[in-house]
Structure 1
Amino acid sequence: MRAGGLEAALSPACGGALRWLALDGVDLLRHAPEGSADPLDMASFPLVPYANRIADGRFHFDGQDYHLPRNFGDHPHSIHGHGWQSGWAVTDQSPDSALLTLVHSADARWPWAFTAQQQVTLAPDAIIMTLALTNQADGDAPVGLGFHPYFCADPATRLQFAAQSLWLSTPDMLPERSVPADTLGDWSRLALVQGDSLIDNVYGGWDGMATVERGDGLRLMLTASGADWLHVYRPPGADFFCLEPVSHMPDALNRADGMAILPPGATLSLSMRIEIDKSDQALPKSARIA
């Protein structure tokens, strides 16, 4: 897809993933290796029908106990739903947009039928992605949504966002206790992203905005709606990090905050926009927008 100098590629069969996003050849997100079919190599993938982890894949809902299969190697918890591990169909497309659809029948991976749609649209200075899920089951169903974009990080890359709280995690990466948002670093002002420790934590009370400023001068603004939580994944020493707008905290089905409950036929949606700062001072020469 193209809009002006902005280009993107999708892999519908590979979890409905975004392969790459570039402005005049400058990668804005991590670029998937040529030929890779692994969603974890992609620039971004959708999280549906829930985000992050469900402890041991077990939860209780509407008087019944459920046990989802593990879907991430030997990891002890079910993670990110199964949309990222499913093939999506292209149901509409144009030079600057595409609509991907996933139709799910109730099975062991998720006991409620649903239809999910992912709309991806390019503008000359932004990518807009909207994820919507409609409950096709006969009864109420829990629903969670999110996006999992991988941002490039060099030693000078800085990050800024505002949140009210941070959840520290157990060794197996489940939320354990809520602490002040600056406990793992003060992101309320631009601060260096790279570090020698793992951050794999969710921030609550997020205001829906984040700024990424790279060493090459490129500045990206992420905004989201339908996402009160921001999950940050920063592996130590890596050249990427993830900012995941999500509709609920990890293991929400086993927590008081819970997930959205949709009656039959109802729809939940979440959108994410990644916009490029168009000022000359914020763009490398190779990526100036005319």
Structure 2
Amino acid sequence: MSQDIVTLRAGGLEAALSPAIGGSLLWLTLDGVDLLRRAPADSDDVLAMASFPLVPYANRIADGRFAFGGRDHQLPLNFGDHPHSIHGFGWQAKWTASGTDISSTTLTHIHAGNTGWPFPYRAEQHVALTPSDLFLSLSLYNAGDTPMPAGLGFHPYLLADPATTLHFDANCLWLSTPDMLPDHEAPADALGDWSRPAMVRGDYLVDNAYSGWNGTATVLRGDGIRLRLNATGADFLHVYRPPGSVDFCLEPVSHMPDAINRDAMPILAPGGTARLTMTIAIDKIDQTLPKSDGIA
């Protein structure tokens, strides 16, 4: 990679970030073992990174169009030939690092407002390591003089070996149209029952928003590494599980896809700040069977 890399360390944990490539996370390791999907060494593609921030909206906006404040707006269609605008602007922008020390840094992205998204804002991402967790805080400040739609999220790619299980609680999920917009609600176990630990890998696509999420999710890998994801400011968990893939996404987000066209998007007053946090706590579970003491 040609860009500058910010590397953080605490105990056995190491994280690396690329401010230039969407303020993204390149890797997260414990004693050299990857905890998230590692970005390829020669890649400048943010979609190949370990995680990236979503701001000032998460997931899809239908056809990149929305009406707000008495005006119609057209966003850039920023995902190849996909018909919708996706994930906001931060993931395709350069961020600036400041206040960096051995275990923490702050990344900043400023949007002055343009014809696609006329609302000026400042986004900040604070990243910190302790010997047992990764903490990320994402804030969005409305720098304009009018209200603005405001959405936040994170897009981490976790690894799944054949024995990896996932557990989280939610009230329901949104089933999608063929072009991946929410269509109607269904029971939370309609695509897999993760209300108790269940295998992550599967042979069909899951790309759906879960509502009524309680803000926690637990991943237990076959090597005994346990990742506990905790989020605040995230009313939805978007799960992306490609069929047969060795990685999957648990995306804590502040709103459902296309919320801006469904009167379900948070609104931020001038001078106001929205925040979302994600903590990934890491430990290792001893999964070995107890040894016999030799007594029959």
Pairwise same-fold verdict (TM > 0.5): yes
Quote the Cα distance in structure 1 between the aligned partners of 2:117 and 2:68: 12
Tell me, in whole angstroms, the C-alpha distance in 2 between the residues paired with 1:277 and 1:216. 11
Counterparts of 2:76 and 2:53, CA distance in 1 = 19
- Equivalent residue letter for 1:33: P
Q: Which residue of 2 aligns with 1:64?
A: 71
Q: Deviations over 1:226-259 (max 9, x none)?
A: 0010000000011000000000000000113x21
Q: Distance in 1 between matches of 2:121 and 2:254?
A: 17
TM-fit CA distance, 1:110 = 1.6
Q: Specify the alignment match of 1:86 in structure 2.
A: 93
Within 5 Å, which residues of 2 pair with 1:188-199?
188-199=195-206
Give, in angstroms, the shift of residue 155 of structure 1. 1.0
The answer for the alignment partner of 2:222 in structure 1 is 215
Which of 279, 287, 292 aligns to 1:273? It is 279
What are structure 1's unaligned runs of at least 5 residues? 283-290
**How far apart are 1:277 and its partner, in Å?**
2.4
| 1:91 Cα offset (Å) | 2.0
Q: In structure 2, what is the Cα distance between the partners aligned to 1:206 and 1:111?
A: 31
Q: Deviations over 1:101-141 (max 9, x none)?
A: 00111013421000000000000010000000000111000
Q: 2:80 — aligned with what?
A: 73
Runs of 4+, deviation exceeding 3 Å: 278-282
Q: How does 1:119-268 map to 2 (within 5 A)?
A: 119-256=126-263, 258-268=264-274
For residue 221 of structure 2, what is the amino acid of its counterpart? R
Distance (whole Å) between structure 2 residues aligned to residue 77 and residue 155 of structure 1: 33
| DSSP-derived class of the 1:94 partner | coil
Residue 42 of structure 1 corresponds to: 49
Superposed CA deviations along residues 154-178 of structure 1, whole A, max 9, x for unmatched, are 1111100000010000000000000
Report the TM-score, using the length of structure 1 for normalisation: 0.95
Q: Secondary structure at the match of 2:260?
A: helix
Q: Which amino acid aligns with 1:264?
A: P
**Conserved in 2, the CA contact under 8 Å of 1:53 and 1:250?**
yes
Instruction: Please say if 1:95 is aligned against 2:102.
Output: yes
Secondary structure (helix, strand or coil) at the match of 1:56 reads helix
Counterpart secondary structure, 1:19: strand
The residue that corresponds to 2:36 in the other structure is 29
User: Aligned equivalents of 2:65 and 2:143: distance in 1?
Assistant: 22
In structure 2, runs of 5+ residues without a counterpart are 1-7, 289-296
CA–CA distance in structure 2, aligned partners of residues 146 and 19 of structure 1: 17
Picking from 1, 7, 31, the partner of 2:14 is: 7
Instruction: Give me the whole-angstrom Cα distance separating, in 2, the residues matched to 1:281 and 1:226.
Output: 34
Shift of residue 280, structure 1, vs aligned partner: 4.5
- The structure whose Rg is larger is 2
* Contact 1:143–1:261 (8 Å) recurs in 2: yes
Q: Quote the offset at 1:149 in angstroms.
A: 0.2
Counterpart code for 1:19 = L
Counterpart Cα distance in 1 of 2:30 and 2:284: 11
Distance in 2 separating the partners of 1:109 and 1:243: 28
Structure 2 letter corresponding to 1:160: H
CA distance in 2, matches of 1:239, 1:168: 23
Opposite residue 281 of structure 2, the aligned amino acid is: E
Q: Following the alignment from structure 1 to structure 2, what is the Cα–Cα distance between the partners of residues 199 and 237? A: 11
Displacement after TM superposition at 1:43 (Å): 0.6
Q: Percent identity?
A: 64
CA distance in 1, matches of 2:120, 2:57: 13
Question: Deviation of residue 153 (structure 1)?
Answer: 0.8
Q: CA RMSD in A?
A: 1.0
